[in-house]
Chains A and B, each alone.
Chain A
Amino acid sequence: MTKADIVEDIAQKTGLTKKEVGETVDLFLEQVSDLLSQGRHLEIRGFGTFKVKERKERMARNPRTGDAVPVPSRRVPIFKVSKMLKDKVAHHS
Chain B
Amino acid sequence: MTKAELVELIAQRTGVSKKDTGIVVNLILENIGGALTRSDKVELRGFGSFKVKSRRPRQARNPRTGDAVAVPPKRVPYFKASNELKSRLNGGTGDE
Q: Size range of the interface on B?
A: 35 or more
Say what secondary structure dominates the interface of chain A: helix
Bits for A82-93, please: 1 = Cβ < 8 Å to B, else 0: 000110111011
**Known: A36-B89, A40-B1. Contact between A77 and B6, CB under 8 A?**
no
CB distance from B61 to the nearest CB of A (A): 21
Question: Interface of A with B (CB < 8 Å)?
Answer: 1-3, 5-6, 9-10, 13-14, 16, 20-21, 23-25, 27-29, 31-33, 35-37, 40-48, 52, 74-79, 81, 85-86, 88-90, 92-93
Question: Interface of B with A (CB < 8 Å)?
Answer: 1-3, 6, 9-10, 13-14, 16, 20-21, 23-25, 27-29, 31-33, 35-48, 50, 52, 74-79, 81, 85-86, 88-90, 94
